[in-house]
Amino acid sequence: MMNGNEGAAFELIYAVVSYGMGSKLMQKAKKYGIRGGTILPGRGTVQNRILNFFSLYDERKEIVMLGTDRKTAQSALAKLNQDFRFEKPNKGIVFTTLMCEIIGSSHQQREETIEEGENKMYQLITTIVNRGKAEDVIDAAKAAGSKGGTIINARGSGVHETMKLFNMDIEPEKEMVLVLSKADVTDKIIASIREKLEIDKPGNGVIFLQNVHQAYGIYE
């Protein structure tokens, strides 16, 4: 897979915590210089502690997404790990992916670049499919070596995702599946999802990939 993030000056922080902890993490993040973020409900699917991505099986989770500059992300991540003890089992996980720019916020782009030799051991596979298909994505990912992921409810508005009801356009509900993968099995997992969900057919979904930069709470 090609890395399209060279030169990125910003990072997107993902924190996956137990239900009800998202607001607490957001408050701490603001103390550490992050201006704001988004909290999404989700549920975990990991059934064992190998790559214990989202702790307990089918447990309610909250996904906190925080965008900030790279320097702030590195500092805040270390402090959040101290506060929430992600190194302990079932405390959650926090990791970052790289972004080139943040538009529509008070952040200003900084002259930073990503040095050669960044840790690319893990990658985040995000799959968006029609409601009811998320479990198929998880099954396909597991068949290719994944240990699980998390499912988030969403809503689509693309040209192929609308349907008619009494001549009114209805935007069907979607499901977004996040799978944290070791880089050496990413291609295999994506190929499995792509085949099982027939992603190449219009309206069946979309997959995108991000490199993970920093991470706390991953267990081998």
The CATH number that domain 122-211 falls under is: 3.30.70.120
Beta strands per DSSP E along the chain: 10-18, 37-44, 60-69, 93-99, 122-130, 150-155, 163-165, 168-170, 173-182, 206-216
pLDDT for the residue 88:
85
- 10-118 folds as Alpha-Beta Plaits (3.30.70)
Torsion angles phi and psi, residue 135, rounded to 5: -65, -35
Q: One fold for both 10-118 and 122-211?
A: yes
Per-block average pLDDT, block size 10, for the chain (220 residues)? 53 91 94 89 65 52 90 94 89 86 52 48 90 93 91 67 52 82 93 95 88 80
Structural contact between residues 86 and 94, judged by C-beta atoms closer than 8 angstroms: yes
Strand partners, 60: 43
pLDDT for the residue 164:
53
pLDDT for the residue 173:
79
Domain boundaries, the chain: 10-118, 122-211
- The pTM is what? 0.72
Residue by residue, DSSP assigns 143-168 as HTT----EEEEEE--STTS-EEETTE
Q: List C-alpha distances in Å: 133 to 48, 137, 147, 148, 192.
A: 22, 7, 18, 15, 14
pLDDT for the residue 121:
85
pLDDT for the residue 169:
52
pLDDT for the residue 42:
87
